[in-house]
Amino acid sequence: MSTYSWNCRGLGTPWATQFLKESVLQKQPKFIFLSETLCKSDIVEKVRVVLKYEGALAVDSQGHTGGLALFWRNNSDLRVLSYSKNHIDVMVDIQGWHTYRMTCLYGEPDRTRRRETWDLIRMLNNQVNLPWVLIGDFNNILSQEDKKGGRLYPSWLIQGFQRTLEDCDLNNLELNGYKYTWERGRDTTEMIEVRLDRAVASHSFLHIFTEVKLINLGISTSDHSPIYLEPIHQSSRNFIKRFKFENAWLREPMCKEIVRDVWRDQSDKSFYDKIGTCSEVLSRWGEEFTGSFKKRIRECKTVMQSLKGRRDADSKRLYSHNSKELTEIYSQQEVFWRQRCKQLWLREGDQNSKFFYASTKARRKINHIDVLFDKNDCMTGWENGL
């Protein structure tokens, strides 16, 4: 039921395929939608085999632009309704779930042709009467708050997109995680961030799937970050929150100090009590540390902007200090989102990942010896002398 959507900006590159493979290994989505694949159907078919999905539909790129691909895990779960260079429309019918309609959308990148995307949404709205969700790169925003940096977004584009969703009775889904999904000019004063990727749903869809989560997965090999749509069963509300160590904490000296202080203060406690107390303290501190990336980045940039152009030694020293701190925050933020994607998990030391444990268990199973042949070529097991 879960859907992974990503503007990959070229599927034929080894790093894009590897990143997709690692993301899919972690999230295990039922469906994967890729836009701007910049390739033909033969490349899409090779990726399908690598991902071990049963079905795939490819819309070939036109020259060096465009291209769509949709992968599904089981052929029985999906029926294709229509497709074009800007959309793939399917009916999803999974046993135990309500039947619904999903449209994977790639909005016209040319602003002068954006009305074609709006007309496409209106046309699709009149075709099949099912609970409906649309997901993908809409290449449009709903308000100026969806954009950071650069000039203001043209108001006629915002209003046109808003009217389209109103006419089709579609609701914008809240994005969990980082607010923006596309960036340009990172680590420069001209950096621009925009939320171009999103999901919208009809009232009937939200009535059936009362809890639906849309997550920005953060890190990516493209200038777009992937988004992940997951309707949540009612029964999954009650869960036990477990402590998880953040790799980004290792880049902050305070983390080591916290562990040392807890260990010293709890010297008369058992090992397990120390671990429990340490996890509680780290959780409280880490929630503020990893949840304030945006605030810390804004503060550094504000200071640097105020010092820009000053020539005295103190200003230069303070500017340099904030510049280094900004670089470190970006580095911490990247590690934070990499851990969630489990990308480069071993390099970052993520030895608590499910992938690590799955690999270890598989290796143990392969290496396990049940029987051996003795010197008389008789089969010997653990019960009879091995």
Residues 79 and 46 in one domain: yes
Q: For the chain, what percent of residues have pLDDT higher than 90?
A: 44
DSSP string for residues in 280-305: HHHHHHHHHHHT-HHHHHHHHHHHHH
348 in a domain, yes or no? Answer: yes
Residues 215 and 284 in one domain: no
Mean pLDDT of 311-327: 84
Residues 23 and 160 in one domain: yes
Give the pLDDT band (50/70/90) at residue 386.
confident
The Cα 15–Cα 310 span in angstroms is 42
Residues 215 and 252 in one domain: no
* Lowest mean pLDDT, pick from 260-269, 277-286, 288-297: 288-297
378 in a domain, yes or no? Answer: no
pLDDT at 118 over 80: yes
Task: Assess contact for 26 and 230: CB atoms under 8 A.
Answer: no
Report how far apart, in Å, the C-alpha atoms of 325 and of each of 138, 167, 261, 282, 298 are: 34, 47, 25, 22, 12
Supply angle C-alpha 137, 156, 138, rounded to 5.
5
- Round the average pLDDT of the chain to a whole number and report it: 84
DSSP H stretches of helix in 266-353: 271-290, 293-307, 313-341
Give the pLDDT band (50/70/90) at residue 357.
very low
Bigger pLDDT: 254 or 377?
254
Residues 203 and 262 in one domain: no
Residues 163 and 223 in one domain: yes
The Cα 251–Cα 265 span in angstroms is 24
Task: Assess contact for 245 and 335: CB atoms under 8 A.
Answer: no
380 in a domain, yes or no? Answer: no
Neighbour tally for 179: CB within 10 Å: 14
Between strands 147-148 and 371-373, the pairing is: unpaired
Between strands 100-106 and 132-137, the pairing is: parallel
Task: Assess contact for 337 and 326: CB atoms under 8 A.
Answer: no
The Cα 349–Cα 321 span in angstroms is 28
Residues 255 and 288 in one domain: yes
Write out pLDDT tens, residues 210-264: 888 999 998 778 899 999 999 765 444 444 567 878 877 887 888 888 888 888 8
What CATH number should be reported for the domain holding residue 94?
3.60.10.10
Write out pLDDT tens, residues 13-50: 888 888 999 888 888 999 999 999 999 999 999 999 99
pLDDT at 55 over 90: yes
Write out pLDDT tens, residues 191-202: 999 999 999 999
Give strand pairing partners of 201: 133, 171
Number of H helices, E strands in the chain: 10, 18
Bigger pLDDT: 319 or 200?
200
377 in a domain, yes or no? Answer: no
Residues 38 and 179 in one domain: yes
Write out pLDDT tens, residues 139-148: 999 999 999 9
Task: Assess contact for 104 and 135: CB atoms under 8 A.
Answer: yes
Q: Which helix (H) or strand (E) holds 88?
A: strand 87-92
Residues 7 and 36 in one domain: yes
pLDDT at 290 over 90: no
DSSP state of 86: T
Give the pLDDT band (50/70/90) at residue 296.
confident
The Cα 9–Cα 61 span in angstroms is 11
Residues 207 and 229 in one domain: yes
pTM over 0.75: no
Residues 203 and 306 in one domain: no
The Cα 221–Cα 223 span in angstroms is 7
Say how many CA atoms lie within 13 Å of 142 toward its Cβ.
18
Residues 175 and 315 in one domain: no
How many domains does the structure of the chain reveal? 2
The Cα 316–Cα 320 span in angstroms is 6
pLDDT at 354 over 60: no
Which residue range(s) make up the domain with 220? 3-236
Task: Assess contact for 69 and 24: CB atoms under 8 A.
Answer: no
pLDDT at 340 over 90: no
Nearest of 175, 81, 178 to residue 129 by alpha carbon: 81
Q: Which helix (H) or strand (E) holds 10?
A: none
The Cα 248–Cα 334 span in angstroms is 8
The Cα 371–Cα 384 span in angstroms is 10
371 in a domain, yes or no? Answer: no
Q: Domain end: 190, 214, 236, which one?
A: 236
